[in-house]
Amino acid sequence: MFRMMILMFGLLAATGGFPPASAASAAKARVHVIVIDKMQYGPMPTGVRAGDIIEWTNKDILEHSATARDGRFDVDLKPGASGRITATAGTLAFFCKFHPTMTATVVVE
Amino acid sequence: MNKSLFALVLTLGLGSLAGAHAATPAPALNDAQIAHIAYTAGVIDITAAKQALQKSHNKDVRAFAQEMARDHAAVNDQALALVKKLGVTPQDNPTSKSLASGAAAEQKKLAALSGSAYDKAYVANEVAFHKTVNGALSGTLIPSAQNAELKSLLETGLKLFQSHQMHAEHLAQSLK
C-alpha cells in the first residue's frame, strides 16, 4: 500500500498533476540571464533555485569567462556568445579568468 | 632593473603631461590626440605580445600574451570605428611619440633576453606599462576627453588595463 502511494505520488508529480516543491522546481526550471558588458558582470539574479539555468550573455567587445572559484564550472564566452549552466545549491562565486578584476557571486537556494 | 627605461620614459612623458595639465590651463589634450595616445598604447602592447609569442616557451606567459594581443586589438578596432564615425583623425603628439620611442627601446632590450630571464622581464614590464597607462587614463586622458563615446571607451579601457595589470602581477608572482 505504501509503495502504491509512493508510485502514485511519483506519477502525479511527473505529469504535473501534483506539484511537490522539489519536482516543481525541476519541471519549471527558470533561466536567469547575467549580461556582461564593458568589463563587468551585470546585476546578479535573485531567487535562483537549484535546477534553474544560469546563462551568461557576453555583449562586450572582449572575450570573457564565467569561471567558478571552486572549479565546478568554467564557461568561455567569446564576444557576442552565450553560455549556460544548471545551478546547484550554494553560493556560486565566479570570476573572469582573463580579467581577474571581474568577480561576482550568485546565491542558489 | 625591473623599473625599465621604458617605464621611466612613460612616467616622465605622461607624468609631466599630467603635471602640466593640473598646474596650468594649457595645453589641454584634444580628443584627436587622446585617441592617438590610447591607440598607440594598444599597439605597443600588441607588439610586445607578438614578441612574447615568438620568444617565450612558458605556457602561462604565452596565454597572457595571447590575451593582451586579443584584448588590445578588440579595443583598438573599436577605437578606429569610433574615430571614423566621429570624423576625427587621430593626431600624433609628444606623449604618443614618447610612448612609441620608449616601447622601441624596451623591445630591443627584451630581444636580447631569453628563457626565464625574458619571461620575467616581459611580465615585469607589462606590470609597469599597464600601471603607467592606468595613471594616464584616470589622471589625464579620461578627464580631458570631450566626446561621451570616447570617454566611455576610455573608461572601459581603464577597467581592461587594471585587469591586465592584476593578471600580470599574479603572473609575475608565479614566475618568481
User: What's the total number of domains in chain B?
Assistant: 1
Q: What is the dihedral of CA A11, A14, A16, A20, to 10 degrees?
A: 90
Amino acid at B75: V
Of A63, A79, A100, the CB nearest to B167: A100
The count of other CB atoms within 10 Å of the CB of residue B104 is 13
Record: contact B75-A61, CB cut-off 8 A:
yes
Range of the domain at A95: 29-108
> Does residue A104 form part of some domain?
yes
Strand order in A64-68's β-sheet? A74-77, A64-68, A90-95, A103-108
pLDDT exceeds cutoff 70 at B53: yes
> Does residue A97 form part of some domain?
yes
pLDDT exceeds cutoff 70 at A5: no
**Taking CB atoms and an 8 Å cutoff, what residues of chain B touch A40?**
159
Mean pLDDT of chain A: 84
What pLDDT, in 10s, does the model give residues B8-50? 444 444 444 444 444 444 468 999 999 999 999 999 999 999 9
User: What's the total number of domains in chain A?
Assistant: 1
> Does residue A23 form part of some domain?
no
Range of the domain at B147: 5-175
Average pLDDT over residues B166-173: 97
Average pLDDT over residues A42-61: 97
What pLDDT, on the 0 to 100 scale, is given for residue B13?
A: 46
> Does residue A94 form part of some domain?
yes
What pLDDT, on the 0 to 100 scale, is given for residue B128?
A: 96
> Does residue A63 form part of some domain?
yes
Cβ of residue B149 closer than 8 Å to a chain A Cβ: no
Q: Which of A56, A59, A93, A60 is nearest to A76 (CA)?
A: A56
What pLDDT, on the 0 to 100 scale, is given for residue A28?
A: 80
A1 or B104, which is more confident? B104
Of A38, A40, A63, the CB nearest to B70: A63
Average pLDDT over residues A34-41: 97
Which H or E element spans position B110? Answer: helix B94-111
Chain A interface with B: residues with Cβ < 8 Å? 38-40, 61-63, 79, 96, 98-102
**Taking CB atoms and an 8 Å cutoff, what residues of chain B touch A58?**
none
**Largest CA-CA distance found in chain A, in angstroms, rounded:** 62
* Chain centroid offset of residue A35 CA: 13
The count of residues in chain A is 109
**Taking CB atoms and an 8 Å cutoff, what residues of chain A touch B71?**
62-63, 98
HEC string for chain A: CHHHHHHHHHHHHHHCCCCCHHHHHHHCCCEEEEEEECCEECCCCCCECCCCEEEEEECCCCCEEEEECCCCCEEEECCCCEEEEECCCEEEEEECCCCCCCEEEEEEC
What pLDDT, in 10s, does the model give residues B74-104? 999 999 999 999 999 999 999 999 999 999 9
A27 confidence band (pLDDT: 50, 70, 90): low
Amino acid at B119: D
> Does residue A81 form part of some domain?
yes
Q: Which of B7, B118, B9 is nearest to B65 (CA)?
A: B118
Residue A31 to residue B84: CA distance in whole angstroms: 39
B3 confidence band (pLDDT: 50, 70, 90): very low
Q: Is the peptide bond before B27 cis (omega within 30 degrees of 0)?
A: yes
Residue A34 to residue A24: CA distance in whole angstroms: 23
> Does residue A65 form part of some domain?
yes
What pLDDT, on the 0 to 100 scale, is given for residue B91?
A: 96
> Does residue A1 form part of some domain?
no
Q: What is the CATH number of the domain that holds A33?
A: 2.60.40.420
Which residues touch A51 (CB under 8 Å, ≥6 apart)?
Answer: A25, A26, A29, A86, A87
Distance from CA of B90 to the nearest CA of A (A): 21
How much is the ipTM here? Answer: 0.80
Q: What is the CATH number of the domain that holds B115?
A: 1.20.1260.10
**Taking CB atoms and an 8 Å cutoff, what residues of chain A touch B163?**
39, 96, 98-102
Of A61, A79, A101, the CB nearest to B163: A101
Residue A7 to residue A12: CA distance in whole angstroms: 9
